[in-house]
């Protein structure tokens, strides 16, 4: 080769090297705004499957899990779009790892690794069936990783997956200080002191769970994800009364009357929302599922999907913390005990009651049909 051609070749190599983002970047940077939500939806469905089939799961622990899963999903890809803002530093005490400056990441591989890692930690193997769930988690992760790694440099793959794993581990480390750590193992607290007197909750004769203790009685003391939610005022309760003309009596009478006139469609709706923890993915899981339905119908990109899951998870988690704070402040009875004691001693309600107190409140104008509800 002539010296002149050699010089041109060297210059081209130097120019090409200088223009590359880094030495292991081997293609155009992935634009997340053009990526569909499919991978995010697959992990949301796997999360709900895990929740539904895990023994001992509860709506309280589910709400917490969805917050951490949604947060991890969002944070694993948020740095791939400059128009998005990380939640790092915005949530109560949250401090997360950041990607290396100037390095290329395959954000879908990071998301995939983060979801797999955290889901298996939050729902560890406790039985042979639980191992089956973990095998399904691994299968989904391997399928996504194989498809997304095609043609990607090994260093990029390793860096991206390590980022997702490190993010999940840091989120889990943060979660251990929120008050709900290992909630699967301590649903009921035998040492919890029951208040005694009129209007207080007692274990239902016909309940969803065979227990004489309320579910997660101290959950209301957990750390809120959004700091401002810790300062929300606790609403007032309808005063206890056995007077048939009172709002309290009328509230439970309305439950009793409605139970006796339920139509089949209403029973089916009640069963869908009943959220028996042994048969469904619980109330917060329904919210996550509804988010998936909205994502599917709106055909949004993966960034918007991850944000939707994060917002949903964080919202239901803080809602349950504040809800439990209110429930256990008043420790109010559910319809069965009040109706049996004051309206009809032979009553057996259509749907078995959950193992935690209710909260009677005015839900709308007192002259309308939905005047009072006990939640």
Note the pLDDT tens digit of each residue in 41-99: 999 999 999 999 998 889 999 999 999 999 999 999 999 999 999 999 899 999 999 99
pLDDT for 3: 44
Give the C-alpha separation, 308 to 295, whole Å: 8
Among 241-245, 306-310, 362-366, the least confident range? 362-366
For 91, the token pair is 């949530």
Please list, in sequence order, all residues whose beta carbon lies within 8 angstroms of the beta carbon of residue 152, skipping any fewer than 6 positions away: 26, 27, 106, 109
Residue 172 sits at the vertex; the CA angle it makes with 33 and 180, to the nearest 5 degrees, is 120
In sequence order, which residues have a C-beta less than 8 Å from that of residue 182 and are 6 or more positions away? none
Rounded to whole angstroms, the Cα distance separating 165 from 32 reads 20
Predicted confidence at residue 17, as pLDDT, reads 36
Residue 286 main-chain phi, psi, to 5 deg: -60, -40
H/E stretch holding 372: strand 372-374
Identify the residue with better confidence: 270 or 200.
200
**Model pTM above 0.85:** yes
SS (H, E, C) 142-174: HHHHHHHHCCCCHHHHHHHHHHHHHHHHHHHHH
Residue 279 has pLDDT above 80, yes or no: no
Using 50, 70 and 90 to split pLDDT, how confident is the model at 18? very low
- String of b and e for 78-111 (b: at least 16 CB within 10 Å)? bbbeeebeebeeebbebebeebeeeebbbbbbbb
**Taking all residues of the chain, what is their mean pLDDT, rounded to a whole number?**
88
- Whose tokens are 């709706």? That residue is 269
CA distance 164 to 145: 12
Tell me which of 14-23, 122-131, 135-144 is least confident: 14-23
- Residues whose CB is less than 8 angstroms from the CB of residue 95 and which lie 6 or more positions away in sequence, other chains included: 88, 89, 170, 174
Cβ distance 341 to 333 under 8 Å? Answer: no
Whether 28 shows a pLDDT value over 90: the answer reads no
Task: Band the pLDDT of 131: cuts 50, 70, 90.
Answer: very high
Residue 274 phi, psi dihedral angles, 5° rounding: -65, -35
Q: How many other β-carbons are positioned within 10 Å of the β-carbon of residue 307?
A: 19
Asked whether 323 and 180 are in contact (CB, 8 A), the reply is no
Q: Tell me how far apart the alpha carbons of residues 372 and 220 are, in angstroms, rounded to a whole number.
A: 24
């Amino acid at each position: 080769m002539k010296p002149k051609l050699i010089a041109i070749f060297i210059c081209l190599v130097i120019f090409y090297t200088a223009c590359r983002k880094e030495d292991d970047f081997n293609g155009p940077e992935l634009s997340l705004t053009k990526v569909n939500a499919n991978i995010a939806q697959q992990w949301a469905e796997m999360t709900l499957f895990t929740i539904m089939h895990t023994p001992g799961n509860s709506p309280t622990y589910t709400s917490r899990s969805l917050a951490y899963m949604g947060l991890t999903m969002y944070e694993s890809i948020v740095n791939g779009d400059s128009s998005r803002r990380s939640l790092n530093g915005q949530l109560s005490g949250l401090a997360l790892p950041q990607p290396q400056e100037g390095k290329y990441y395959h954000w879908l591989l990071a998301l995939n690794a983060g979801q797999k890692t955290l889901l298996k930690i939050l729902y560890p193997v406790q039985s042979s069936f639980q191992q089956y769930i973990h095998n399904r988690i691994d299968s989904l992760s391997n399928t996504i990783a194989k498809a997304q790694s095609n043609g990607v440099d090994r260093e990029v793959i390793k860096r991206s997956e390590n980022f997702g794993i490190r993010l999940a581990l840091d989120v889990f480390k943060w979660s251990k200080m929120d008050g709900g750590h290992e909630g699967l193992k301590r649903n009921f607290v035998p040492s919890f002191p029951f208040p005694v007197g009129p209007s207080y909750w007692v274990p239902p004769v016909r309940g969803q769970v065979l227990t004489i203790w309320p579910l997660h009685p101290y959950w209301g003391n957990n750390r809120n994800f959004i700091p401002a939610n810790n300062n929300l005022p606790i609403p007032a309760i309808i005063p206890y009364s056995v007077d048939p003309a009172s709002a309290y009596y009328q509230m439970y009478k309305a439950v009793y009357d409605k139970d006796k006139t339920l139509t089949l469609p209403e029973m089916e709706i009640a069963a869908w929302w009943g959220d028996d923890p042994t048969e469904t993915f619980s109330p917060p899981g329904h919210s996550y599922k509804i988010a998936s339905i909205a994502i599917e119908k709106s055909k949004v990109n993966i960034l918007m999907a991850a944000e939707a899951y994060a917002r949903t998870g964080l919202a239901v988690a803080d809602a349950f913390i504040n809800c439990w704070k209110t429930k256990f402040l008043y420790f109010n009875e559910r319809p069965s005990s009040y109706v049996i004691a004051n309206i009809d001693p032979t009553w057996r309600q259509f749907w078995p009651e959950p193992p935690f107190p209710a909260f009677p409140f005015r839900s709308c104008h007192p002259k309308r049909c939905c005047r009072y509800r006990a939640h």
